[in-house]
Amino acid sequence: MPRIGVFICHCGHNIASTVSVEEVAKFAATLPGVVIADHNLYSCSEEGLNSIRKSIEQNKLDRVVVAACTPRTHEPLFRSVCEQAGVNKYLFEFVNIREHCSWIHAKEPSSATEKAKRLVAMGVSKAALLEPQTEGESNVIPAALVIGGGLAGLRATASLAAQGIETHLIEKEPRLGGLLNDITTLAPYSESADTLLQELVDEVRGSKRAHIHLNSKLRGLTGFVGNFKATLDEAGKKKEIEIGAIIVATGANELQPEGEYGYGSVPGVVTQLEFERTLKRGEKPGDTVFIQCVGSRQPGREYCSRICCNTSLKNALKVLEAGGTATIIHRDIMSYGTVWEEMYRKASEKGVRFIRYTLNDIPHVRSHASGTAVDVFDETLGERIHLDANRVVLATPLISQKDSAEVGKLLKVPRDKHGFFLEAHVKLRPVEFATDGVFICGTARWPSSVRETLSQALGAAAKAAIPIKRGKVVIESITAWADPDKCAACGNCVASCPYEAIEILEQDGKRVAKVNETQCKGCGTCVAACPNDAMQQRGFTTRQLSAMIDSLVKHALEESP
């Protein structure tokens, strides 16, 4: 008979103000196998963890159930307490009674309490059948791959190489630098973008640990954290490299506003990047009107691209220096922080004109005898005004790279609805993917300034360096396996596996499915696809899940008249 301990968390008032924690604990104590059921104000606090640890030792528990918040944030913590108390961490079961009970049913405390009891009963019945697992360890290949040779990728490569790690940088274009090649100076100061770029390129080229692959694309990837094998297409030639970690730094692109505000039809209308190129060629800008939020912050593409206002401020100041006039037509000026706000103030003081428009009445751009004209309703003045311009600069947002879907698919990492890569957690894991060993930085994740991009590149470089410096990674234990007696070698599992972790092999004269456990991520898809109940997943076996359902049905039957 197992010895199960159940610990119910108040989560302060988060759970306890809706769910009667005492009642759930009292109920849990009556469940088969449960030797102790207790409750804590905050199970995750030092005090809570200590009391669980002591209880495991005193009651000689061999299974632990915590009913609290979410395993996404807290499972590692409770698992480690089990380990400290000498219980295999896979003999721990998490029941979520906060998101699933108190928060969602905040207005129905008694039903929420009933639901919490049933979820706890299900957790206990599963816990009784849990089996200990051992975690394998794997060596880490002491090399990294950085995808994308723009600012983010260059800085990440320079960092990894400087940390003593062999780093492969792949760039699909024939030159390094990405969008930075088109930029004149780095706002808000007058540092030349070329200087920064050249310094970085020199550093990477000069490092014996950095290996640059131009005209190269990722074509395939197998393996897992610490042991990836990447297939590259380098200028038409296939190449294979082995690496321990990967950084995605594929950047972004400027939206081409075809047909909007006279782009393509009215002379003198350019995008911000095209404008940068004219400045870089030394062309005099003349009188310039900037229109912000072209193609962004509106239905269809809701987001703010973060860097466009600050770029317009920088370039408006350049226009003034070159003797032209500058007007910025905007909806809100996004000069956040210290340096951008200072630049905004400087632009106002030096005579850049700011006109605010709304989506209800957008500016109109047309040809004019002497050049280009913009008609706009000035919200502050409350009247329509007319502006003559030599150039109209359309500040369009950064959009995700066309091939980001392809990269995402090869690396098996997600993207958001705009095509930007989706980090593991928007608040606390900004440079990591949920997939171990794969990291993200720069505008491939979200539009960001040069300084932000550099910081993120360093962040991703730190994360990628950690497993390599440690030299070992722990291999996932919650994996699938096939019961050879039940397997009919139908191949459904092979076809369904998104990680190419299953093969049909000959074993003892019989063809059976075989899972490569280092490649299996424990997603469970093959288990669902198996028609013969041969495929099982550790920690989620049919027996364990059936026991949970049985417990739920049993309680439902007992209560129904």
Partner 1 sequence: MPKKVVVIGGGIAGIQACLDIADMGYEVHLVERTPSIGGRMAQLDKTFPTNDCSMCILSPKMIMCAGHENIKLHTYSEVEGVSGEFPRLKVRIREKARHIALNRCTGCGDCITKCPVKVPNEFEEGLSIRKAIYLPFPQAVPRKVTIDAEHCRMITEKKCGVCKKVCQAGAIDYEQKDSLIDIDAAAIVVATGFDLFDASALRQYGLGSCKDVVTSLQLERILSAAGPTSGHLLRPSDKKEPRKLAFIQCVGSRDAKMLPYCSSVCCMYATKESILVREHVPDIESTIFYMDMRATGKGFQEFVNRAEKQYSVRYLRSRPASLQAAHGESGVLVTYELVGGTTEQRTEEFDMVVLCPGLVPSSGSEALCALLRIELDKDRFVKMPNWKHPIDSSRKGILVCGFAGEPMDIPDSVAQASGVAARISELLQAVA
Minimum Å gap between C-beta 544 and partner 1 is 26
CB of 414 to partner 1, least distance (A): 13
Residues 297-326 that bind partner 1 (CB under 8 A): 297, 302-304, 306
Among 228, 261, 340, 433, binds partner 1 (CB under 8 A): 340
Cα dist. 476→136, 137, 503, 515, 539 in Å? Answer: 8, 9, 19, 13, 12
Q: Is 179 in the site for partner 1 (CB under 8 A)?
A: no
Which of 32, 164, 264, 351 contacts partner 1 by CB under 8 A?
Answer: 164
Chain centroid to CA 461: how far? 15
If you search the block for the tokens 């030096």, which residue do you land on?
Answer: 350
x/- track of binding to partner 1 for residues 3-42 (CB under 8 A): --------xxxx--x-----------------------xx
CB of 338 to partner 1, least distance (A): 4
CA 68 – CA 14 distance, rounded (Å): 10
Choose, by CB under 8 A, the member of 233, 274, 379, 406 that binds partner 1: 379
Per rule CB under 8 A, is residue 208 in the interface with partner 1? no
Q: Does 360 bind partner 1 (CB under 8 A)?
A: no
43's tokens = 């199970």
Q: Are 269 and 392 in contact (CB under 8 A)?
A: yes
Which DSSP helix (H) or strand (E) runs through 115? helix 109-127
Minimum Å gap between C-beta 305 and partner 1 is 8
74 lies in the binding site for partner 1 (CB under 8 A): yes
Residue 47 sits in the site that holds partner 1 (CB under 8 A): yes
In angstroms, rounded to a whole number, what is the distance separating the alpha carbons of residues 174 and 185?
A: 23
- Cβ of residue 231: shortest distance to partner 1, in angstroms? 28
Query: Residue 420 interacts with partner 1 (CB under 8 A)?
Result: yes
Rounded to the nearest whole angstrom, what is the least distance from the CB of residue 507 to partner 1 in the complex?
40
Backbone φ and ψ for 538, nearest 5 degrees, come out as: -60, 135
3-state helix, strand, coil in the chain (%, to 5): 35, 25, 35
Query: Is 466 an interacting residue with respect to partner 1 (CB under 8 A)?
Result: yes
Q: Which stretch binds partner 1 (CB under 8 A): 333-341, 507-515, 519-527, 548-556?
A: 333-341
Q: Least distance to partner 1 from the beta carbon of 143, Å? A: 16
- Applying CB under 8 A, among 6, 187, 221, 465 the residue interacting with partner 1 is 465
Q: Kindly state the number of chain residues that form the binding site for partner 1, as judged by CB under 8 A.
A: 81
Question: Distance (Å, rounded) from C-alpha 192 to C-alpha 341?
Answer: 21
Question: 43 or 325, CB closer to partner 1?
Answer: 43
| The one segment of 88-96, 218-226, 327-335, 385-393 that binds partner 1 by CB under 8 A | 327-335
**Smallest distance from the beta carbon of 508 to partner 1, in angstroms?**
44
Sorted by sequence, the CB contacts under 8 Å of residue 443 that are 6+ apart come out as 150, 152, 179, 251, 252, 398, 453
Q: Which stretch binds partner 1 (CB under 8 A): 122-130, 228-236, 374-382, 553-561?
A: 374-382
Q: Which residue stretch of 25-33, 86-94, 117-125, 336-344 sits at the interface with partner 1 (rule: CB under 8 A)?
A: 336-344
- Give the nearer residue to partner 1 in terms of CB position, either 76 or 498: 76
8 Å CB contact between 524 and 540: yes
**396 secondary structure, DSSP code:** P
Binding window for partner 1 (CB under 8 A); candidates: 239-247, 465-473, 486-494, 505-513: 465-473
Closest distance of CB 122 from partner 1, Å: 23
Q: Is 65 exposed, middle or buried (0-12, 13-18, 19+ CB in 10 A)?
A: buried
Indicate which single residue of 45, 111, 190, 542 sits in contact with partner 1 (rule: CB under 8 A): 45
**Residues contacting 262, CB < 8 A, separation 6+:** 269, 365, 366, 367, 372, 392
Please state, in angstroms and rounded to a whole number, the distance separating the CA atoms of residues 502 and 181: 45
Contacts of 514 (CB under 8 A, 6+ apart): 482, 502, 503, 504, 505, 507
Q: From the CB of 442, what's the least distance to partner 1, in Å? A: 10
Q: State the sign of the Cα–Cα–Cα–Cα dihedral 42, 46, 52, 54.
A: negative
Among 1, 30, 46, 560, binds partner 1 (CB under 8 A): 46
Residues numbered 423 to 462 that lie near partner 1 (CB under 8 A) are 425-431, 441, 445-447, 450-452, 454-462
- Residue 223 and residue 339: Cα distance in Å, rounded? 44
Measured from the CB of residue 397, what is the shortest distance to partner 1 in angstroms? 11
Q: For residues 402 and 415, is the Cβ–Cβ distance under 8 A?
A: no
| Backbone angle region of 392, left / alpha / beta, with phi > 0 → left and psi within -120 to 50 → alpha | beta
Q: How far is the CB of 41 from partner 1 (least distance, A)?
A: 6
76 binds partner 1 (CB under 8 A): yes
